[in-house]
Copies of this chain bind each other. A is one copy, B any other.
Amino acid sequence: MTHPLGLRERKKQQTRETIVRCAMELFAERGFDATTIADIAEAADIAPRTFFAYFPSKEDVVFHDFDAIFADFDTRLRERAHGVTAFETMREWIVERITDHADPLNEQRHALIAATPSLDAHERANMGRFNEVLTSAVAVDLDVAPDALRARMVSAAAVAALESLREIKDDEAGPDHVIAVMDEVLVFLQGGLDALRTPSEAGAASD
């Protein structure tokens, strides 16, 4: 009655955050592989076994917010209005995320991921999930099969742009740079699709 969430839920949330904070700190200090579950548990003042009540694996701590982000993107794609392109939806979503959720810890996180092969693989798998949902949405836009080559190419190029964005993120100019990048992507994709639409001149110049 005093709180929107019961004591239990609040404590759980708090413990979860403590685990994430302590773990990321240790990862930054010693590296991911050199940090054990026991280390994290001690720092967060929980039993080692309890860690696994919060995260299925050590890696999942690093990507603790991915599920929420992905779900957000997915529903956004699914619930877009008729006539609104998947790419436009993605562009909007990215600009929002950049402006709203400017997380200064992201830079540190990505340094960690880049330095840890297993995390890098995990990150790629995450991007793969973005790619999947984007591909099927693009396929709907283009009115082709869900696994059509052109849908894959469009989605892959868009996700490549997404990846390039996360490398700059905070230090470079925020929304302006993002918009510039997305514009370049749009021109590229549009040009590519137009070329596929007109079966005229195929390949003449060098790429």
Give A contacts to B, CB under 8 Å.
83, 85-87, 117, 120-122, 124-125, 128, 138, 141-142, 147, 149-150, 152-157, 159-161, 163-164, 167, 181, 183-196, 202-203, 205-207
Contacts and interface: CB of A to CB of B under 8 A. Distances in A.
B83 A206 contact: yes
B121 A181 contact: no
A206 B141 contact: yes
A127 to B, nearest CB: 8
A195 B187 contact: yes
Specify the main secondary structure of chain A where it touches its partner.
helix
A202 B189 contact: no
Given A120-B128, A156-B156, A187-B192, 16 more contacts: A120-B125, A121-B122, A121-B124, A141-B207, A149-B161, A152-B160, A152-B161, A153-B160, A155-B160, A156-B157, A186-B207, A187-B196, A188-B192, A190-B207, A191-B191, A191-B195
A55 to B, nearest CB: 16
A206 B124 contact: no
27 contacts: A85-B206, A87-B207, A120-B125, A120-B128, A121-B122, A121-B124, A124-B124, A124-B125, A141-B206, A147-B164, A147-B167, A149-B160, A150-B184, A152-B157, A153-B161, A157-B192, A183-B203, A184-B196, A186-B207, A187-B195, A188-B195, A190-B195, A190-B202, A190-B207, A191-B194, A191-B195, A193-B207
A185 B164 CA distance: 22
A154 B184 CA distance: 13
Contact of A121 (B87, B125, B161): B125
Contacts of A122: 121
A207 B196 CA distance: 12
A95 to B, nearest CB: 16
Given A149-B184, A195-B191, A207 B138 contact: yes
A9 B44 CA distance: 52
A181 to B, nearest CB: 6
